[in-house]
Amino acid sequence: MRNLALTCVFAYAALSSSTAVGQVPAERPELFPGESWTFHEKNIKTGGLLIYRHEMQTKEADVYLLKEDSDNGTNKKQQLVRRSADLNRMRTVAGQPVDSGWFSFPLAAGKTWQAKERWPNNQGYDEVTYEVVGQEKITVPAGTFDTIKIEGTGFWHNETASTWAMGRDDKIAIAIWFAPEIKNYQGSKPGGQALIQRTFAQQPPLIPHKVDGFDDITAEENTCLDCHIHKEVRGQKIPQIKESHLIKPVNADAPQVHNSRWQCNSCHVPQIDAKPLVENVFKGNAKK
């Protein structure tokens, strides 16, 4: 599921408190436009591997629209898929919205719920009862995570087959692990998200936009400066770095970044909605 396969967990910019690691109950996560994640789906019977990448596009009436890229080793496909606010798969079958029912937030130990998911060909359905069975540490290619485990048991029923021998119905067992500790960086294009207020005057401001996919900062190259050394780039206003970052006296026409400020990401990190690493009573004093 969403939270299993993200590749890294950064925790520097802990801002608002949320669920403790792996602890039940877990609240519903929120997706933001531009967020993306990658996950693997392995067929235990055939050994086949499908690699998916999802990117959140927009939210319409409580349903997320995601761009899905999939790759099974021979074929690459791209399509739009839908997820409910609970991150369940949404399909339209015979004109009716169908919800996979994988999650029902908040997740609390012992909680159960039922889902009936009609097949895309409208010839049958899966009927599953889910239960939050507890916590488990699991390891996937992206790392080891404290998760909440959900188990589903039920059956599928093929309405077009009249006998068992024709494959009328059989049992289903599903396990889902949800890792509440994993958070995506928030933000998309510059200008897409409000600035997070600084908590004290000397704090390096958080980066309110996406920085995934930027080249590493090297001695010669610094992508951040493509924008931040300017006041404006292609008509967009840029918060230009000020004197503290520049070689003095500042040459107003061609400002030069001081070497001590070259490695921008040693001080500036993207914003993330994560719990504080340790409980604290710090109160900021920024006037902004």
Binding residues (CB under 6 A) for ligand HEC: these are 190-191, 195, 202, 204-205, 207-209, 211, 214, 222-228, 233, 236, 238-239, 241-242, 244-245, 257, 261-268
Q: Of 92, 65, 93, whose CA–CA distance to 79 is shortest?
A: 65
Residues 6+ away with beta carbon under 8 Å from 51: 38, 39, 40, 41, 70, 71, 72
Smaller CB separation from ligand HEC, 64 or 185: 185
Smaller CB separation from ligand HEC, 155 or 200: 200
Q: How far is the CB of 242 from ligand HEC (least distance, A)?
A: 4
Q: How far is the CB of 238 from ligand HEC (least distance, A)?
A: 5
Identify the three-state secondary structure at position 227.
Answer: helix
Classify each residue of 85-97 as buried b or exposed e, where b means 16 or more C-beta atoms within 10 Å of its C-beta.
bbbbebeeeeeee
Smaller CB separation from ligand HEC, 40 or 258: 258
Smaller CB separation from ligand HEC, 147 or 222: 222
Q: How far is the CB of 264 from ligand HEC (least distance, A)?
A: 3
Smaller CB separation from ligand HEC, 33 or 190: 190
Q: How far is the CB of 216 from ligand HEC (least distance, A)?
A: 10
Determine contact, residues 231/242, Cβ cutoff 8 Å.
Answer: no
Q: Of 238, 244, 262, 235, whose CA–CA distance to 202 is shortest?
A: 244
DSSP string, 67-103: EEEEE-SS-EEEEEEEEETT--EEEEETTEEEE----
Q: How far is the CB of 35 from ligand HEC (least distance, A)?
A: 15
